[in-house]
Chains A and B, each alone.
Chain A
């Protein structure tokens, strides 16, 4: 498949944004600027990027607890994301959601999600909306390998298949459900095989090769838009960090880590771009500098935003009711 240079550069920028955003988030968490939990997408950049490069703003995605990469790939604002991680007023959710609950309706991002497997069923609803309103939209449902052991996976693929909903189920098989390796949490190797049970085509691709992901997603998304129903894409990838920051990942064998670092998607796309003269080395450096500037700007934006007013804690629960506050 021939991918146009501007598409490649655009994908590279998104992957680099994810890489640098997550690296900064890692450091900021370590120094205490970001409270709570953060689950980093480092190492999996090619998956969200290769898929979302095929989507428009109006298309939907559902995301996971490891959602930063999906949101950046779908075009989310780095400023509002970083401010949300900081718990600031200018964050995507006004500081009410944090890392695990970032959403942007204007970009079709139906939310990161703290419940493993919850996005599957929400994606069915978004897919139904698109089909019902004949809007031509598709919904991409991102999820991890371990979530395919939840009942929601079964319920959602079954219903999406019988209703022929325009959904692409994208499994990021990063080999671990928290500390439990795939070999221990399920008795299959290829999650794509699970599609057979629902009469849903299942394909497994190298999730660290952004072109392989792009191509598989292109075909699945066309199929979905064409009314032929859902596809299950399994992207084999690896998370560089632990499940969350603070988890040292001691359960990941050293040889395994070394093997996967050889397949790191960022150097791969950079090498491809240079080898194929998509950009010159100087242009590549400029792109890197551009991304670093964007990330620095996002951190500045987050730092400068105030914390939310306490009164906002009782707002936004309902569209029309503000709950009682507390006098202190």
Chain B
């Protein structure tokens, strides 16, 4: 058993794959000797050298485009975008190229690339450095999307993401980098397999990323008031572990979905729709969604914490609705 932070676990996953496969390399802004904006790639430059840990200019389009072109020709790039918000600058390369190439070309070219995307609010980074844009990615056929919430999942999902022959978007929550946790299994976690983070019988909270921890905190509070809450972390947003969701819903018959993204058009809505369409008979109550308010993320700490959802909001919503 090993204790690691979330950031260290991401790095360990990358290091293991780089040791295993000489075609795995990292590219991004300041990922080399500087160690990355959040320190996630620290030490890898010294271990693997400048050819495999490559600093790029501030050019998100070519960071993603280079990953596309090199993955289509035999390499396995791990591209780091400093913030998920910068996806906008490289979106064509991701959506129209990476996600489409395999299909457009009749399945004859694979694009095995990983894009690391630090997202989420809570560090007063304001409107252009705090977004949760996962739903933009899940909306695009051709992309896989993972979103680990713990060091264990961060490591296991990184191993699987690099091994995968498709473009995998690795969303990481920047407020979790320092989170410590036990890493018992040094092995890949298959994409599309969710995890029950807490077992319970009365209500299922489906939560992603940092909201998993808010849901766990809420479950503790609610336990004292007699609610036996199950917390389900899909870990992979696409492919989604619908079987695990079904098992949980058939047990608890009540669902709350907690994601940090703005609620309007969010992936929480997609999960809700899937449950309504496919598991309606198992539901005893309407599904409830918790998300950020439909605003840009404000800077001032008081405003930011008002806009993004937390454990209290979950507790309140559970008491109000179930």
Contacts and interface: CB of A to CB of B under 8 A. Distances in A.
A162 interface: yes
B61 A96 contact: no
A327 interface: no
B165 A162 contact: no
Given A105-B108, A105-B109, A121 B102 contact: no
Contacts of B108: 92-93, 103-105
Contacts of B110: 319
4 nearest A-B pairs in the assembled complex, by CB-CB distance: A125-B69, A121-B65, A316-B107, A93-B106
Contact of B57 (A97, A162, A323): A162
Interface string B160-179: 00001110000000000000
A126 interface: yes
Interface in B56-70: 56-57, 59, 61-62, 64-70
Nearest to B142: A317
Contact of B101 (A111, A130, A152, A315): A111
Interface in A83-123: 91-97, 101, 103-105, 110-111, 113-115, 118, 120-123
Interface string B121-153: 000000000000000000001101000000000
Interface SS of chain A: helix, strand, loop or mixed? mixed
B65 A156 contact: yes
A122 B142 contact: no
Contact of B96 (A97, A103, A118, A123): A118
Contact of A129 (B62, B74, B97): B74
Interface in A278-328: 315-321, 323
* Band of interface residues on A: 35 or more
A159 interface: yes
A133 interface: yes
Contacts of B74: 129, 133
Contact of A318 (B57, B69, B102, B109): B102
Contacts of B23: 132-133
Contacts of B105: 92-93, 96-97, 101, 103, 105, 111
A158 interface: yes
A159 B56 contact: yes
A136 interface: no
A113 B75 CA distance: 21
A126 B59 contact: no
A119 B229 CA distance: 51
A316 B110 CA distance: 10
30 contacts: A92-B105, A92-B108, A94-B106, A96-B103, A97-B104, A103-B105, A103-B109, A111-B104, A114-B96, A118-B93, A118-B96, A120-B65, A121-B65, A121-B93, A122-B65, A124-B65, A124-B66, A125-B68, A125-B70, A125-B73, A132-B25, A152-B62, A159-B57, A316-B102, A316-B103, A316-B107, A317-B103, A317-B141, A317-B142, A319-B107
Contacts of A315: 107
Contact of A317 (B96, B102, B164): B102
B114 to A, nearest CB: 14
A142 interface: no
A323 to B, nearest CB: 7
Interface string B34-49: 0000000000000000
Nearest to A141: B69
A124 B62 CA distance: 8
B188 interface: no
B243 interface: no
Contacts of A95: 106
Interface string A45-69: 0000000000000001010000000
B62 A156 contact: yes
A125 B96 CA distance: 16
B199 interface: no
B106 A121 contact: no
B102 A128 contact: no
A62 B104 CA distance: 15
A59 B79 CA distance: 24
Contacts of B57: 155, 158-159, 162
Contact of B72 (A94, A101, A122): A122
B265 to A, nearest CB: 21
B276 to A, nearest CB: 17
A151 interface: yes
B100 to A, nearest CB: 8
Contacts of A320: 164-166
A110 B73 contact: yes
Given A105-B72, A125-B72, A132-B25, 6 more contacts: A103-B101, A124-B69, A125-B70, A125-B73, A128-B66, A320-B165
Contacts of A96: 103-106
A120 B66 CA distance: 9
A159 B51 CA distance: 14
Contacts of B75: 125, 128-129, 132-133
A129 B65 CA distance: 13
Contacts of B65: 118, 120-122, 124-125, 152, 155-156
A118 to B, nearest CB: 6
A139 B69 CA distance: 10
B72 to A, nearest CB: 6
Contacts of B165: 319-320
